[in-house]
Amino acid sequence: MSYCINPACPKPKNPPTLNQCQACGASLLLRDRYRVIRTLGRGGFGATYLARDEELPGRPPCVIKQLRPSADAPHVLDMARDLFQREAKILGKIGNHPQLPRLLDYFEKNQEFYLVQEYINGFTLQQSVKQGGPFSEAGVKQFLSEILPLIQYVHNNQVIHRDIKPANIIRRDEDKKLVLIDFGAVKDKVNPTKASTSEQTALTAYAIGTPGYAPPEQMALRPVYASDIYALGVTCVYLLSGKSPKDLDYDPKTGELLWQQHVNASEHFISVLTKMLEISVRHRYQSIEAILRDLDLEPYMDSLSQNMAFQPSGGSSDNASGPLSSGQHTGGSPSARMAAAIRARRERAANSRQGSSAKSLASNRIRSTRHMRPLSTATSDSQSSAGRRLSADDVKLTYLKGKRDFSSQVLSGVDLQKVSLPGIGLSQSELVKANFQGADLSGADFGRANLTKASLRNAKLGRAYFNYANLEGVDLRGADLSYACLSNANLRGANLCGADLTGALISEDQLDMARTNWATVYPSGRRGLL
């Protein structure tokens, strides 16, 4: 189909081979090369279209953003032109990052402005939540490990995105990476001292961002880098709860978003999100490095390092030369150095704990004999029962009471087939020959767990985390492992026949150690072949 973008056209839909609109006679080829197929979105400033480039082989798809000022006053057109040129400059400067859309062309025609960008095929995070439901805490942490280095790259280039939200983050079908879109010209920084007339104020109003995601200082046209951090915090709340800001209440005295009661997350993660969502800029996180430091996401460090690999040198992307080797992580970008610092701190803490482990173990044994009580009534169930063998009924009952953390438990041989335990934490647990066949373990944390010869056949393991887990000989036939993190997991002899690995973090070396067949869906989305 050819779509006419003349706003006065009564019937914009045309046959795909025509070059002029049948209804109004307008040209259907922008700049004699771009054929618009359909509308992707409309707003007060113009519209976004899906188009094809007729001049290139294969007629590849592209996105055309049309900026149509709502007033004809010369100063409004000048302002629109300035904003348009700024966005083109920004995209030209930072759009060579593999997770940002590339600028392909830009031009002005009949006092309307057009940007042609790379088309990103995939689902937005908003669509993912609407179709698959909210993310687990582990899933949101994985999201942050991917998106934070990307936002830092944008900030290092002295750009404030100003419209971070689930609808502007796409999981690209091609390689399953997150892509940040919509660097709208009217969302770039605007000097409020220029907004002196009613028309300019109306135009600059479009630069505010999305209500609910934009913090107060941005609504007042005073955005800072921390404004993007606030929007990212609201995005995390949406991913955890499935509720957009308009569906949540606000504190009438402070204006703070009341979100805690709608999410299921650890106290530590809630504290991080709370600081990201501070109304006061002064008390909010000021940098991406500070968030990375407080998250301390050791299970996701490998994914984090991969996403940090593309970083500018001295604020420019020109010197980027591809992924860093393992020996380079301590140099380069601030994020890479932060990642190394987090890992080093983890190792120091682990060494320190080893020194007092014998004394702690003796103390725990004394406490357990004096105060032994059922798991379901313990003050801190998972911690107080660490190392004690639990039954399947213990786990199910405790989970139903709202507990999710079963770290370091002895669950070898436990029979939990067909149970629903999404988001359960089983890191460092002993799960040898455990039976989870047909269970719903979406978003579960199996980091460093021992699952030797366990059965996870037909289990739902979407966005589950197996970093450094021992999966030797595990039965994963028909399991849903879409977007799961399998980095550093031992998959020797694991049966992945018929498993869905779409978007999963897994290496070819790991796959070589496992059993696969024609029904295995690989991370690329292809079936039966790498």
With beta carbons less than 8 A apart as the criterion, state whether 412 and 432 touch: yes
* Token pair of 484 as six digits: 């799961």
Extended beta strands in 119-260, E state? 122-124, 169-172, 178-180, 249-250, 257-258
Place of tokens 């006065």: 8
DSSP 164: -
Per-position DSSP letters for 375-442, written without gaps between them: GGG-TTHHHHTTTSB--HHHHHHHHHTT--B-TT-B-TT-B-TT-B-TT-B-TT-B-TT-B-TT-B-T
Instruction: Give the C-alpha separation, 188 to 196, whole Å.
Output: 18
Out of 163, 188, 475, 500, pick the active-site residue: 163
Tell me whether residue 65 is annotated as binding: yes
On the CB side of 412, CA atoms within 13 Å amount to 8
Instruction: Give the C-alpha separation, 446 to 469, whole Å.
Output: 6
On the CB side of 84, CA atoms within 13 Å amount to 25
- For residue 49, what are the β-bridge partners? 39, 64
- For residue 63, what are the β-bridge partners? 50, 117
Give residue 356's identity as a one-letter amino acid code.
Answer: S
Cα 276 to chain center, whole Å? Answer: 16
Instruction: Give the C-alpha separation, 166 to 285, whole Å.
Output: 20
Active site residue 302: no
* Token pair of 231 as six digits: 């929007």
Instruction: Give the C-alpha separation, 530 to 528, whole Å.
Output: 7
Point out the residues that are catalytic. 163
Residue numbers belonging to the annotated binding site? 65
Residue numbers belonging to the annotated binding site for ATP? 65
